């Protein structure tokens, strides 16, 4: 077998192992959200101000890029654990010169989310429980969380949209109030 083919096969195997390893570690693959889910997220972003949006688990970066282009006045901060999807998304962001988007390779559970006005995610049941625990443990400044498909346990839903897909998947929005809001 020619050397070049061996390199290609070895490279593909390394990429696959890296993605499978990270999927086992965080409990979900970098599967992108559908166009309908993205549209529902954008709809629920209405009336959430112009402050920073933090995406928790950005996968290949598709949703991050859409949000950054749709809301050029907002700063979009994304966190992704899986190396290959993160790398590809950063390359695309640099090539397209999308300056209001930053994508970090980091576990969002260890990140400081206090500057976020809106948190956005498409994760899994356990991931949502981890987020709920993090929100309870830490003082946070954010005001909204928008989650595709999976609910945030222990918090009342502010608004939701049902996607017209096979599963009739929901996208939930949560609104967090603080004492200052309640005084208004
Ligand atoms: C289903 S994908 C969603 C991708 C993107 N948000 C979208 O909607 O298209 C979930 C992503 O979250 C990432 N993820 C899960 N837990 C994470 C964590 N604790 N820190 C960083 N990324 C995480 C996974 O690696 C995966 O790429």
- For residue 79 and ligand 1, the question of a CB distance below 6 A is answered with yes
Q: Which of 18, 23, 28, 148 to mutate to test the pocket of ligand 1 (most atoms within 8 A of CB)?
A: 28
What domains does the chain contain, in order, with CATH numbers? Answer: 3-182 (3.40.50.150)
Q: In what order do the strands lie in the sheet with 76-80?
A: 101-105, 76-80, 53-56, 118-121, 144-148, 170-175, 159-162
pLDDT by residue (tens digit) across 32-72? 999 999 999 999 999 999 999 999 999 999 999 999 999 99
Q: Which of 33, 59, 87 to mutate to test the pocket of ligand 1 (most atoms within 8 A of CB)?
A: 59
pLDDT of residue 138: 82
What kind and span of H or E run contains 81?
none
- For residue 67 and ligand 1, the question of a CB distance below 6 A is answered with no
In the predicted model, what is the mean pLDDT of the chain?
94
- For residue 150 and ligand 1, the question of a CB distance below 6 A is answered with no
Distances in whole angstroms, Cα of residue 33 to Cα of each of 58, 60, 142, 160, 180: 10, 10, 23, 16, 35
pLDDT class of 177 with cuts at 50, 70, 90 = confident
């Amino acid at each position: 077998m020619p050397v070049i083919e061996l390199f290609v096969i070895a490279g593909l195997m390394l990429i696959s192992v890296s993605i499978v390893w990270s999927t086992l570690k965080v409990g979900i693959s970098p599967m992108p959200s559908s166009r309908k889910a993205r549209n529902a997220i954008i709809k629920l972003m209405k009336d959430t101000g112009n402050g920073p949006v933090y995406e928790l688990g950005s996968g290949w970066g598709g949703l991050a890029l859409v949000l950054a282009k749709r809301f050029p006045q907002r700063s979009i901060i994304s966190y992704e654990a899986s190396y290959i999807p993160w790398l590809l998304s950063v390359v695309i962001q640099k090539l397209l010169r999308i300056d209001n988007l930053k994508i970090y390779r980091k576990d969002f559970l260890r990140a400081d989310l206090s500057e976020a006005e809106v948190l956005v995610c498409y994760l899994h049941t356990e991931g949502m429980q981890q987020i709920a625990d993090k929100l309870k443990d830490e003082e946070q400044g954010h005001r909204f969380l928008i989650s595709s498909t999976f609910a945030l346990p222990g918090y009342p839903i502010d608004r939701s949209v049902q996607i017209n897909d096979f599963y009739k998947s929901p996208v939930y929005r949560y609104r967090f109030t603080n004492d200052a809001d309640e005084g208004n």
